Each structure stands twice: as structure tokens, then as C-alpha cells.
């Protein structure tokens, strides 16, 4: 057992599976990514299994791949995340609801208001996945001729975070009196006007909604570049990471938590959840056969398109049976590019083999029995490679059901995972502190103490 350490489990649910062949797998729902009845069923299954969060990634453009590949992709259509998560809030009670929102192509006031609304609607279960948006085609949908430079996107994101969290603190927690007899709805002394004028942003405020239930929705980030790690150490409470093995996970875990400590934060203030692609079988051989069947459903044009996106460079002209050539720096995700290049070098893969892997799933995968999967997850937790995992299912619904019905009970038997939720908010269930209001901290502390 892991000395009372508890795994945190998120579910990566947009697309419902990252694997290109998922929608074609026998028994799968081909429209799972865009069918509310299915998504409601998935969310309720995850909640019954006591998952921490349902995570809906988002794209602000159709994926930048050739039409020959795009026509085979189940990612081409998806719900807008706030609309979907607000609907799911009404049919769930405990599971966290995490949405992606871009600091590059949205306004801080919009994002602050949407997440505050989702947090109130859900009773304190919202999480904001901060992204700077790597897809260059997104820029074309927002009036730009080319994408904003990588490091500038991260630099802008830091100020953006400050503005959004400042807007969430517009009202003290006890600002709304609602005294019908006196006619006083709120106390003006408990309202703060942000009046931010910075390098990139000018936002007056205040936000026209009460402070979120959680104080702030949980701050979630991803990204392994130098800029991404530093931003995460400064601001993130949950990090969705991508590691191919435990050693890489341990290095990232130590680096980011060490950076956070130097900034005066506790190591426990950040939960690191690497993405893990999980296929469950009654035997290891059965699980491997499921993966082989799934991978066989990937077309080469889909694989080469996925490879091009990961590299930030058109790979369609590469010799399929030659090694990966030198790839120049691009303005896309730097950490994603490096992972793919390292994979090709480490396993001496041809372009065709690499495309097949990328068209399926090339990252961390646990393929085996409930026992072997639980063994691996426990090893990562004990060895400080992670605080848990952002689970990616191979196909839906069976891949999700297998995990919920077989792996979760094994983790619970080992006392590595909860049997009941610890609280009603996402923060409570993740073991994260509720942030004080930066503008009314002293007064609110006094109110809590008096109460």
C-alpha cells in the first residue's frame, strides 16, 4: 500500500477517445463525441466510479490536417464545452467539470464570467484548463493572419491569469446581504473594482457575478516546455502532463514541484496527473489483442496527419519507409514535437511506423489486467512520478466500463482510491485549499473566525 497516498483520477473526454480508430471499434458509439445522451451516461458512470473530474478539452478550429485524414476523424465535431458541462452539471452531483479556455483567443472577462457561472451552477465543481492554443489554424478564425509566437503566448497567459483571478475576487464572500426589509442587496464596501492596466490587457471590472463557490475554480494546466513548466509552477493546481515512462514522470514531478516550492508554494498545492491510455483485459494477452485490433483501424493518411500536427510540420512528403528527417523549430507545441522526435530516435521508427503510432496513441499506456494496471498506477504514485492520472479510454462505452467496473474496485481494495467523495466541491475532493480573496482576505478571515 502507498502509505495513505490517494490516487487522483481525471477522465479525458474530448474527444471521448484520442485514438483515431476508436469510433470504428466493434461495439463503440460512432457519435459518442457529439451525442448528449451518451455523454450524460459517461459522466454518470465516471461519477459512480468516484472519478475526480470529467475533462473536456477544446479546439478553436477544425484540426489542421488534410481533408483525406480529416474525413476519417471523429474529432471534426464537438460540443462547445461550457454548454455541455453546464448541462452535465444538472445530471451529476460530485464529479468535477473541467473545460479548456484559451488565453490567446478569448477575453479575460468572458472567461472569468463563464467559469464563475459554471462553478455556481455546479455547486463548486468547475475547473479551468488554461491553454495558449497550439493549432495555428485557430488564429485564422480570430482575425489573425498568423499565429502568435510560442513564448509570447505564455507570457501573455501569465497576465491573463492575474486578471481572471482578480475578477473572481471582485466581491467578498459575504458581500450579498439581500436584506429585503432594509432594501440593501449587497454591501458596496465588499466590492472591488480591479481597474487593471497592464502590458497586454486593460480590464476595469468588477465581474458581474458573485465570487465562485470554490473561491476560484480549480486551475488546470498542461505543457512541458520551459515556459509551460514555469507558468504551471506559478499558477497551476492540477497539471495534465504527458510522459512515456516513469523516469520522465519523476523528473517532471520533481522539477515542477521544486519550482513551486521556491516560489513559496507547498508541493501539495499541485496535483500532477499524466495522461494514461488504459486498455483492460481479463488477461494481458487479451488486452494486447484489443490494442492490436484498435491500432489496425488507423489509416495511414490519418496517422501521417497526426504526425504532422505533433511535429508542427507537414510530414506528408516524407519517405514512409525512411527514418524521420531533421525537423525545424516551429510555432506549434514545443513539448509535443520533442516527445515525437525522441520516440522516433529511441525506437528507431520509420515515418510509417511513427505515423501508425501517432494515429493510434503514442504516449503512456497501461495495457493489461486490473491487477497489472493497478500495480503500475501504484508504482507511479509511490515513486513520485505522479499524483494520479488523466485516464484516456480506448473506445466508448466498453473501455470506460472496463475501467470503472474492474480497475477502480482493485484500486479501492488496495486503499489507493476513494470509495466515497470527500466533499461537495472539486477542491475538497482533490485536497486543495480554497484561495482567500486577495482584496478582502482579512475581513473574510475575521468573519469565518466569528462564525
Q: Report the alpha-carbon distance of residue 226 to residue 224 in Å, rounded.
A: 7
The answer to whether residues 364 and 273 touch, using CB atoms and an 8 Å cutoff, is no
The answer to whether residues 381 and 273 touch, using CB atoms and an 8 Å cutoff, is no
Answer yes or no: is 154 a known binding residue.
yes
CA 41 to chain centre: 20
Q: Which helix (H) or strand (E) holds 354?
A: helix 351-359
Answer yes or no: is 150 a known binding residue.
yes
Query: Strands 202-203 and 196-197: what pairing?
Result: antiparallel
Answer yes or no: is 170 a known binding residue.
no
Cell of 288: 494486447
Of 160, 112, 161, 103, which is closest to residue 133 (Cα–Cα)? Answer: 103
Q: Report the alpha-carbon distance of residue 128 to residue 123 in Å, rounded.
A: 15
The answer to whether residues 9 and 3 touch, using CB atoms and an 8 Å cutoff, is no
Answer yes or no: is 282 a known binding residue.
no
Q: Virtual CA dihedral for 276, 281, 284, 289, nearest 10 degrees?
A: -90
User: Which string of b and e fits 223-247 if b means at least 16 CB within 10 Å?
Assistant: bbbebbbbbbbebbbbbbbbbbebe
The label of the residue with cell 494496471 reads 373
Helices vs. strands in the chain: H and E counts, helices first: 17, 13
DSSP letter string, 301-316: HHHHHHHHHHHTS--T
The binding site for FMN consists of 58, 100, 150, 154, 225
The binding site consists of 58, 100, 150, 154, 225
Amino acid at each position: 500500500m502507498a502509505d495513505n497516498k490517494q490516487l487522483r483520477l481525471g477522465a479525458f473526454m474530448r474527444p471521448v477517445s484520442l485514438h483515431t480508430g476508436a469510433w470504428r471499434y466493434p461495439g463503440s458509439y460512432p457519435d459518442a463525441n457529439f451525442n448528449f445522451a451518451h455523454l450524460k451516461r459517461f459522466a454518470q458512470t465516471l461519477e459512480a466510479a468516484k472519478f475526480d473530474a470529467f475533462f473536456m478539452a477544446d479546439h478553436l478550429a477544425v484540426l489542421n490536417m488534410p481533408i483525406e485524414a480529416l474525413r476519417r476523424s471523429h474529432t471534426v465535431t464537438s460540443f462547445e464545452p461550457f454548454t455541455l458541462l453546464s448541462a452535465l452539471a444538472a445530471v451529476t452531483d460530485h464529479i468535477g467539470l473541467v473545460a479548456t479556455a484559451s488565453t490567446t483567443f478569448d477575453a479575460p472577462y468572458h472567461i472569468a464570467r463563464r467559469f464563475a457561472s459554471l462553478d455556481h451552477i455546479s455547486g463548486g465543481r468547475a475547473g479551468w484548463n488554461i491553454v495558449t492554443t497550439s493549432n495555428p489554424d485557430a488564429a485564422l478564425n480570430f482575425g489573425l493572419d498568423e499565429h502568435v509566437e510560442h513564448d509570447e503566448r505564455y507570457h501573455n497567459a501569465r497576465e491573463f491569469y492575474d486578471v481572471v483571478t482578480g475578477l473572481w475576487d471582485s466581491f467578498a464572500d459575504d458581500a450579498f446581504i439581500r436584506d429585503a426589509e432594509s432594501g440593501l442587496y449587497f454591501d458596496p464596501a465588499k466590492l472591488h473594482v480591479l481597474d487593471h492596466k497592464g502590458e497586454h490587457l486593460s480590464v476595469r471590472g468588477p465581474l458581474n457575478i458573485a465570487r465562485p463557490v470554490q473561491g476560484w475554480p480549480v486551475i488546470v494546466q498542461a505543457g512541458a516546455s520551459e515556459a509551460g513548466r514555469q507558468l504551471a509552477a506559478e499558477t497551476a493546481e492540477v497539471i495534465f502532463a504527458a510522459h512515456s515512462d516513469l523516469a520522465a514522470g519523476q523528473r517532471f514531478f520533481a522539477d515542477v514541484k521544486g519550482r513551486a516550492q521556491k516560489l513559496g508554494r507547498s508541493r501539495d498545492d499541485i496535483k500532477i496527473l499524466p495522461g494514461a491510455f488504459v486498455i483492460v483485459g481479463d488477461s494481458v494477452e487479451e488486452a494486447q489483442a484489443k490494442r492490436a485490433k484498435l491500432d489496425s483501424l488507423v489509416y495511414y493518411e490519418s496517422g501521417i496527419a497526426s504526425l504532422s500536427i505533433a511535429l508542427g510540420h507537414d510530414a506528408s512528403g516524407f519517405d514512409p519507409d525512411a527514418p524521420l528527417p531533421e525537423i525545424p523549430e516551429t510555432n506549434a507545441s514545443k513539448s509535443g514535437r520533442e516527445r515525437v522526435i525522441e520516440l522516433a530516435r529511441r525506437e528507431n521508427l520509420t515515418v510509417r511506423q511513427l505515423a501508425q503510432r501517432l494515429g493510434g496513441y503514442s504516449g503512456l499506456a497501461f495495457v493489461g489486467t486490473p491487477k497489472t494496471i493497478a500495480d503500475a498506477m501504484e508504482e507511479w504514485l509511490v515513486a513520485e512520478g505522479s499524483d494520479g492520472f488523466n485516464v484516456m479510454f480506448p473506445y466508448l462505452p466498453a473501455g470506460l466500463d472496463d475501467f470503472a467496473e474492474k480497475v477502480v474496485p482493485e484500486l479501492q481494495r488496495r486503499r489507493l482510491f476513494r470509495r466515497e467523495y470527500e466533499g461537495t466541491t472539486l477542491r475538497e475532493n482533490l485536497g486543495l485549499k480554497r484561495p482567500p480573496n486577495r482584496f478582502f482576505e482579512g475581513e473574510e478571515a475575521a468573519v469565518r473566525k466569528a462564525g
